[in-house]
Amino acid sequence: MNIILLGPPGAGKGTQSAGLVERHGMLQLSTGDMLRAAVKAETPVGVKAKAVMDRGELVSDEIVSELIDANLAAMDAGTGAIFDGYPRTEAQAVDLDAILAKHGRTLDHVIELEVNEDALVERITGRFSCAKCGALYHDTANPPAKEGVCDSCGSTEFKRRPDDNEETVRTRMQEYRAKTAPILPGYEARSIVTRVDGMAGIEDVAAAIDGILS
Ligand code: ADP
Ligand code: AMP
C-alpha cells in the first residue's frame, strides 16, 4: 500500500503518519523531516535548503524528488509507504509517478485532510516535538500525559521548529494554495482521492483513515 497524506501545514499529516507506522508497520517518507535532518547535518542539500525553509517557501523539486527516490530505493519492497509533505507541486507529482514505477509500486490512495485554515496558525504555533524520538505534541490539543515527559520514550527534552512562527506559516499556507492544492484534480481524475475531516480529534481522524485503507 502506497498512500499520500495531503493537506496544508498543520493539517495533521505527521501525527497521522506516526499512527499509521505504529498500527500498520508502514514507513513514513516526510520530505520535511529529511530536509531538517540535512540542515542539521549541514550537508550540501541542507545548506542550500535552510534559508528557503526558514522563509516558508518550497525547496526545489529536484532536491525533494531525489530524496524520495533514494529513500524508496532503501525500502523493503513489501513495506507500504506514506508520503507526507510530498508531492507539493505538479512537477513533484509527475516525478512521484515515475519514481513509483521505477520501484515497482503503485499509488493506492491520496487522503486529503480537510481543515479550517483559521485553526492552522494555532496548531502550528502550539506544535512541539520530543528532541529524542520526534514524537509530536501540541501545547493544548495534544500535550504529553505527564507534563514535560515524552509519552513515547520518557525524554524530558523537547524542541520547536524555527519555521513554526505566525509569519512563516502564512507564507507556507500561500505556497500550499498556489502550488500544492492544484495537484488534487489530477489525482481526482484517477479516482484515488478520499477526503477526511481533519478538524476531528486525532483518534477519529485515525479511524477514518483506517476505514479508507481497509
Ligand atoms: P502537519 O504534519 O500536517 O504539518 P502535524 O501532524 O505536525 O501537521 O500537526 C500540527 C499540530 O497539530 C501538532 O502540534 C499536532 O499535535 C496537532 N494536531 C494534529 N492533529 C490534530 C487534531 N486532529 N486535532 C488537534 N490537534 C492536532
Ligand atoms: P513540512 O515539514 O512538511 O512542514 O516542511 C517544512 C519545509 O520543508 C517546507 O516549508 C518547505 O520549505 C520544505 N519542504 C518539505 N517538503 C517539501 C517538498 N515536497 N517540496 C518543497 N519543499 C518542501
Tell me, what's the pLDDT at 173?
96
Tell me, what's the pLDDT at 117?
87
Closest ligand 2 atom to Cα of 36: 8
Tell me, what's the pLDDT at 144?
98
Question: Taking a C-beta distance cutoff of 8 angstroms, is the pair 137, 144 a contact?
Answer: yes
Is position 88 annotated as part of the catalytic site?
yes
Is position 172 annotated as part of the catalytic site?
yes
User: Could you identify the residue written with the cell 509527475?
Assistant: 94
**Among 207, 46, 40, 12, residue whose Cα is nearest residue 127:** 12
48-99: per-residue pLDDT in tens?
999 999 999 999 999 999 999 999 999 999 999 999 999 999 999 999 999 9
Residues 55, 47, 90, CA angle at the centre, nearest 5°? 60
Q: Write out the H or E segment, with its range, that includes residue 114.
A: strand 109-114
Q: Of these residues, 48, 161, 179, 195, which one is catalytic? A: 161
Pocket of ligand 1 (CB under 6 A): 7, 9-15, 123, 126-127, 136-138, 141-142, 201-202, 205
123-134: per-residue pLDDT in tens?
999 999 999 999
Cα–ligand 1 centroid distance for 54 (angstroms)? 20
Closest ligand 1 atom to Cα of 200: 23
Is position 23 annotated as part of the catalytic site?
no
Starting at the earlier edge strand, list the strands of the sheet with 2-6.
27-30, 81-84, 2-6, 109-114, 193-197
Residue 187 per-residue DSSP state? H
Average pLDDT for 104-128: 96
Does residue 118 register a pLDDT over 90? no
Tell me, what's the pLDDT at 136?
97
Residue 165 per-residue DSSP state? S
Cα–ligand 1 centroid distance for 104 (angstroms)? 32
Give CA separation, 130 vs 47, 95, 160, in Å: 24, 32, 9
Q: Whose CA is nearest to atom 8 of ligand 2?
A: 32
166-210: per-residue pLDDT in tens?
999 999 999 999 999 999 999 999 999 999 999 999 999 999 999
- Please report the DSSP string for 17-56 in residue order: HHHHHHHH--EEEEHHHHHHHHHHHT-HHHHHHHHHHHHT
Cα–ligand 2 centroid distance for 209 (angstroms)? 23
Tell me, what's the pLDDT at 153?
98
Is position 161 annotated as part of the catalytic site?
yes
Cα–ligand 1 centroid distance for 11 (angstroms)? 6
Question: Taking a C-beta distance cutoff of 8 angstroms, is the pair 137, 129 a contact?
Answer: yes
